[in-house]
Amino acid sequence: MLRGDLWTPTAPVEGADTGLVICHGFKGFKDWGFFPFASRTLVSRLHCPVVSFNFTGSGIGDDPESFSEREAFGHNTFSRECADLEAVLDGLAEGRLGALSFPRVTRFGVLGHSRGGVATILSAERTDVVAIATWAAIASPLRYAALFEGVEPGGTVEITNARTGEVLPLYSDVVLDLEANRDRFDLNASLARSRVPLLVVHGTEDLAVPVEDGRQLAAAGVDASLEIIDGAGHTFEVGHPFMGPSPELTAALSFTGDHFERHLM
């Protein structure tokens, strides 16, 4: 099941047909840390609907902060995440998400954090996606195949949630998916084909995804800009629960708002 939040502007622009979708990363979820604040900030600035959602393989179930769906997490793949994002975009284009009805959206922006950057970049293959942005995104999903080096075929890797100490299973589905769709998940090739404006935001102190990944994505893009935030870590110096915006997060939101105002609105 897809679970998400639809944020709507208090003063929508008359006749506007734009919308923004936000994708979380590995071990992330829509209610983690900065995502609700980022959604509120961007809907206020862009005056268009914003959707933040949980991938069906996020591991998050009815409890918005508990990894109760361990098997879904373990069997998650990049293809599944791309399909989830497609479903959200299709729902917005049809003017219906679940029980909610609203004016149809015909022009999209997509923002992805960390692993969520993969589905974000590939979404630019749609003609209705006109601007994309990544925060601390990985340059290649093949980094997940490396997790299984030395593991027996069909084996399981244990993933520890640093925040909770919880140990989650990760099955070989992700590797099989990467092997079967190697060309599709070549982000460099996808960006080289795309004419959709891309903003890459990355921190110099990101220990989870090195800033070199951000530089690689920006270099591969035809219409790409890169904003490096000095001193920022993987989550822009923000944790969970959210205690307020940091200067690094404020900078990321400012760059992102500028980008979508220029290319989406």
Q: Provide the pairing of β-strand 100-101 with 96-97.
A: antiparallel
Q: Looking at residue 10, what is its pLDDT?
A: 87
Fold exhibited by the domain 3-141+182-263 = Rossmann fold (3.40.50)
What are the tens digits of pLDDT across the range 24-43?
Answer: 999 999 999 999 999 999 99
What are the tens digits of pLDDT across the range 201-242?
Answer: 999 999 999 999 999 999 999 999 999 999 999 999 999 999
CA dihedral 259, 260, 263, 265 (to 10 degrees): -140
What are the tens digits of pLDDT across the range 99-152?
Answer: 999 999 999 999 999 999 999 999 999 999 999 999 999 999 999 999 999 999
CA atoms within 13 A on the CB side of 78: 31
What are the tens digits of pLDDT across the range 80-92?
Answer: 999 999 999 999 9
